[in-house]
């Protein structure tokens, strides 16, 4: 079955450490996205990528970095510069050419900074 996988499901980090969240998709989608979700709030876009080796900042990119070396993979690094990293992180993908522009989501990674 096609879909999006994120790992790990839960991640704990000490302050001052960088951590990388994995996102893999086998839907053959060109575009991929990272969102942050805080309790009781909607989703905020961190980064997105339209094609391999290209990515753009979203609304809250500070303290985060990404890479897109393969079509299937879009890892997110939460750096020590991110002041409040504890949140639920969601990866998504979409296929170009769809009129409706639906995005498909992974199951999420919950990051807690200790």
Neighbours of 75 (CB within 10 A): 17
Handedness of CA 91, 95, 96, 99 (dihedral sign): negative
With beta carbons less than 8 A apart as the criterion, state whether 35 and 6 touch: no
Of residues 37 through 76, those in contact with other proteins by CB under 8 A are 40-43, 45, 48-51
With beta carbons less than 8 A apart as the criterion, state whether 51 and 74 touch: no
Query: Please, what is the minimum distance in Å from the beta carbon of residue 88 to other proteins?
Result: 9
Q: Which is nearer to other proteins, 69 or 107 (CB)?
A: 107
Of residues 5 through 44, those in contact with other proteins by CB under 8 A are 6, 30-31, 33, 40-43
- The footprint of other proteins (CB under 8 A) covers 4, 6, 30-31, 33, 40-43, 45, 48-51, 90, 92, 94, 96, 99-108
């Amino acid at each position: 079955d096609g879909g999006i996988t994120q790992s790990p499901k839960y991640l704990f980090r000490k302050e001052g450490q960088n951590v990388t969240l994995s996102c893999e998709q086998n839907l053959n989608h060109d575009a991929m996205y990272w969102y942050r979700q805080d309790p009781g709030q909607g989703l905020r876009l961190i980064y997105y990528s339209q094609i391999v080796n290209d990515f753009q900042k979203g609304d809250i990119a500070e303290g985060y970095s990404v890479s897109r070396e393969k079509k299937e993979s879009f890892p997110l690094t939460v750096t020590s510069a991110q002041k409040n990293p504890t949140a639920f992180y969601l990866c998504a993908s979409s296929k170009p050419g769809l009129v409706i522009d639906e995005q498909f989501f992974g199951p999420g990674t919950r990051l807690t900074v200790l």
